[in-house]
Structure 1
Amino acid sequence: MTDLLKNGTIYCNPISEFAKLDDSCRNDKDELTTMMEYSGNTILFLSEDRDFKNPIIVDLKNTRYKEFVIKPVGNLFCLFTLDFKNTPDDHTITLDEQLKEFGTHVVLINDSNEFAKRVVNQLNMDGIQFKHGKIGYKDFSKYTGKKSFFSKDLKYSYQNEYRLHLLTAKNEPYKINIGSIEDIAVLMETKDIKSIRKRNL
């Protein structure tokens, strides 16, 4: 965290790292999934011939078919975000306790536009293409349809994630350095942030 604040060093792990064991925090077993198909109360008839005279009946309940990326490349940088644009003055937001699972400290960026500008400028200088945006959260328990790198299950919705996807074509960590961000951010202990209130000046 100190390296990010003082030197602007941003570590972007490969997507494959985020797809490891599902811990309901950093990792998501469906990270590399590109399509899901849910089927409930399905019955399969298996037979040795085309007449199905003596079929074997298999009762399938809550079956899921998934397609996923076999050889993933690219990197992710993920942030927790709060959007105050449509929030009334003096509105208080209570943060989810699960956020403490991410660590003991947090870098609070108070000028997100300036931070984004510095990151984009550096990526352009490095010749790295990228995609970015807020994560959309869906109930995947009975979902059928396509899934992108910008969609996650509802159980992760407390993260309010904004994601930067680097198209590096590599499966290894990538580092960005944008210089000190001490003029637009502060380092705080996670335990000291329980709620946030917006107030217009």
Structure 2
Amino acid sequence: MGIVNNVIVKMQRYEYMRRFLLYGEMYMNTLQTFTKMDECDGIGDKFENSISYINYKPIHAIFKLSNGKELKLHPTSVKVREFVDTNIGNIYSMALVDCNIQSIDNQLKFSIQNVDRINSIGNGYDSIVVILNPVEFISRCEKTIQSMGYKLYYDPVEYFSDNEFNKKIEITPFMKRDRYKSQNEFRLFVDFNSNEPQIIKIGNISDIAFLIHKSGICSLNDELPESI
């Protein structure tokens, strides 16, 4: 045991993470909602409803006027983003992090590497649910979504540069600008054919997940606190 890479976790406030653990409750917000959020806390992104993007390289031109003088133009680059107001769908954002797993006194313990990242992803986030069995977790999500008559899509987010010139990028719900690359996001996506938030419950996941607070290492055998 030691460092385990790319463990799926969910970061949020304690009260929501407790409900996630005990009831498998997930609040899936809309793509449209994230376009209207403030980007400063790392959550909102106006590109969430985009379908393509291209950054045209500026052209420096010199025009000769009839009086013999030259007019030099130094235009800035032209950025074109295609988006649609009707781009619907709901996402549940998680993250891939590295964990340090150790056996101490016959107890399995976790610590999250770079736990201070919680502070950079959402104001007030203080807790993490660590998914111990991602295959089973995804399976439960799929069964719940299928029972509602929809299909679940999931994948790590791909990050692209919006500074490249003359390269058209087709944007999917699993793509974000590289300014968010440190989030290392793992995303669930469902097209509920509605532009409203959706709450799904997959049931208690405490058999395949564990909740920890950012204040330190927690044992798998510890009782969950009633409050922080």
Asked whether the two chains share a fold, i.e. TM above 0.5, the reply is yes
For 2:80, the equivalent position in structure 1 comes to: 65
Does residue 1:132 correspond to 2:140, yes or no?
Answer: no
CA distance in 1, matches of 2:164, 2:135: 37
Alignment of 1:1-201 (within 5 A): 1-20=17-36, 21-23=38-40, 25-42=42-59, 59-82=74-97, 94-95=113-114, 97-100=116-119, 101-102=121-122, 103-142=125-164, 144-145=167-168, 146-192=170-216
Question: Between Structure 1 and Structure 2, how many residues are aligned?
Answer: 181
C-alpha RMSD over aligned residues? 2.8
191 and 93 in structure 1: CA distance in 2 versus 1, 3 angstrom threshold: closer
Alpha-carbon offset, residue 175 of structure 1: 1.1
Asked whether the 8 Å contact 2:97–2:113 carries over to 1, the reply is: no
Show structure 2 runs of 5+ residues with no match: 1-16, 100-110, 218-228
Alpha-carbon offset, residue 36 of structure 1: 1.3
- DSSP-derived class of the 2:47 partner: coil
Alpha-carbon offset, residue 53 of structure 1: 7.2
CA distance in 2, matches of 1:104, 1:133: 24
112 and 53 in structure 1: CA distance in 2 versus 1, 3 angstrom threshold: farther
Amino acid at match of 2:200: I
Alpha-carbon offset, residue 95 of structure 1: 2.4
Q: Which runs of 4+ in 1 moved over 4 A?
A: none
TM-score by length of 2: 0.70
94 and 188 in structure 1: CA distance in 2 versus 1, 3 angstrom threshold: closer
